[in-house]
Amino acid sequence: MRFHHMAIFVSDLDEAVHLWRDVMGFEVAINTVIPDGREPGPQTYMYPELLDDIFKVKNARSKMALLSSKEGALIELQGCENPSIKKTPPENLRYGHTGFHELGLVCDDIDAFFAKVRAAGYETQTEYVWQCANIGRSFLFYDKDGNMIQMWEHIEGDPSWT
């Protein structure tokens, strides 16, 4: 089995696109509002009945962006309008609650990436990049909705964990 994508529900789609495009280096492949067609078809991502069934509300509507990295990682961003999006309280986003709370991505030159994230105004969990045994270096930061993103750089010469 291979990983396909991660969907992140956000309160401000434009801000989220800024992070993933301008800071993280992803390219926008799709930026639309769903439902985007009346029925299934080759140009329709979501039609009304399907989106209503998935979101479990009548007249579901969401702004959606799909972005990809040059290595093929996909991020789906959803800015729900119906049902209206509610920010998850910060104490429920971090450790101690079930659910997906951390998205881990591999990068090169983690020190430069750490500086870029901080210069862009995003909160980091620590004031430094830390080492994990002899396998890699890492740091965590938060998007504007408080979602945790972990950046990872493999230690050169360690073939494990790749």
Res 18: pLDDT: 98
More confident position, 4 or 115: 115
Residue 28 CA, distance from chain mean position: 13
For the residues 63-91, what does the mean pLDDT come to? 94
Residue 142 within a domain: yes
Higher pLDDT, 63 or 1: 63
Q: Residue 34 is part of which domain span?
A: 6-82
119 vs 79: CA distance, rounded Å: 25
Domain membership of residue 162 (yes or no) is no
Q: Where are the alpha helices (DSSP H) in 21-99?
A: 48-55
**pLDDT at 157 (0 to 100):** 66
| pLDDT for 122 | 97
Q: Is residue 35 part of a domain?
A: yes
- Do residues 11 and 61 both lie within one domain? yes
pLDDT band with cut points at 50, 70 and 90 for residue 3: confident
Query: Which residue, of 50, 82, 114, is where some domain finishes?
Result: 82
What is the total count of domains within the chain?
2
**Mean pLDDT within 72-97:** 92
